[in-house]
Amino acid sequence: MTEPSLKRQRAESFVNPPTIAKSSTTSNPNIPNYDLWTALSALDKSQTDHTFSQTMLVKLNLRDPSIGAQIRQEYHSHLQRQKEMQAEREQRKDFSHCVAALKEVIHREEARPAHLPRNPERIANCFITKMREIWRQTYYYSSFETKKSALDTLRRMAFA
């Protein structure tokens, strides 16, 4: 008598091929492949109380609550940005210290002894640094006084 083999037999892959489930993202051959943004913007312009996108997102939220959580997170971030922009509108920034710093660098370069060469690159670097500082602190939503101070400071720096 022969003893049964302890090895498992190899499964033939062609006997029972795995079934491939069609996902909901599989396109319907009868519907053209429209650009999604164009389709949504056209549907959002329909004459209803809520936009198509809003209606679809509410329906999707019923299926998957994580979508609603993500929408709430984005809305919270949006409200935070709005608060920051409002605070920036109410704040006035003064950039006159930039002119003083540039004049100080110019004065130091002019006060150098005659036997030491002057370095105009230091003045240029200071000018560019202060210009970037003003640029980084002035936004399109900044107050009128901040924008006016920025422009006035840049003008004074050019003639320093």
Average pLDDT over residues 119-142: 91
**Rounded to 5 degrees, what angle do the CA atoms 100, 103, 106 make?**
155
Is the confidence at residue 10, as pLDDT, over 80? no
Residue 27 confidence (pLDDT):
56
Q: Which residue has the higher pLDDT, 109 or 7?
A: 109
Q: What is the DSSP string of 61-118?
A: HHH-HHHHHHHHHHHHHHHHHHHHHHHHHH-----HHHHHHHHHHHHHHHTS-TTSPP
Cβ neighbours of residue 84 under 8 Å, at least 6 residues apart? none
Q: How confident is the model at residue 139 (pLDDT cuts 50, 70, 90)?
A: confident
Looking at 19-23, 50-54, 129-133, which range is the least confident one? 19-23
Tokens of residue 120, six digits: 């105009």
Task: Give the sign of the dihedral formed by CA 44, CA 49, CA 54, CA 57.
Answer: negative
Cβ neighbours of residue 154 under 8 Å, at least 6 residues apart? 131, 134
Task: Give the sign of the dihedral formed by CA 33, CA 37, CA 40, CA 41.
Answer: negative
Average pLDDT over residues 73-79: 85
Domain residue extents for the chain: 50-90, 96-158
Average pLDDT over residues 90-105: 90
User: CA separation (Å) from 112 to 103, 106, 117, 122, 126?
Assistant: 14, 10, 8, 13, 17
Residue 104 confidence (pLDDT):
93
Is the confidence at residue 124, as pLDDT, over 80? yes
Mean of pLDDT over the chain: 79
Average pLDDT over residues 24-34: 64
pTM of the predicted structure, to 2 decimals: 0.48
Average pLDDT over residues 40-46: 68
Q: Give me the percent of the chain exceeding a pLDDT of 70.
A: 73
Asked whether the beta carbons of 67 and 57 are under 8 A apart, the reply is yes
Is the confidence at residue 14, as pLDDT, over 60? no
Average pLDDT over residues 10-19: 53
Is the confidence at residue 21, as pLDDT, over 50? no
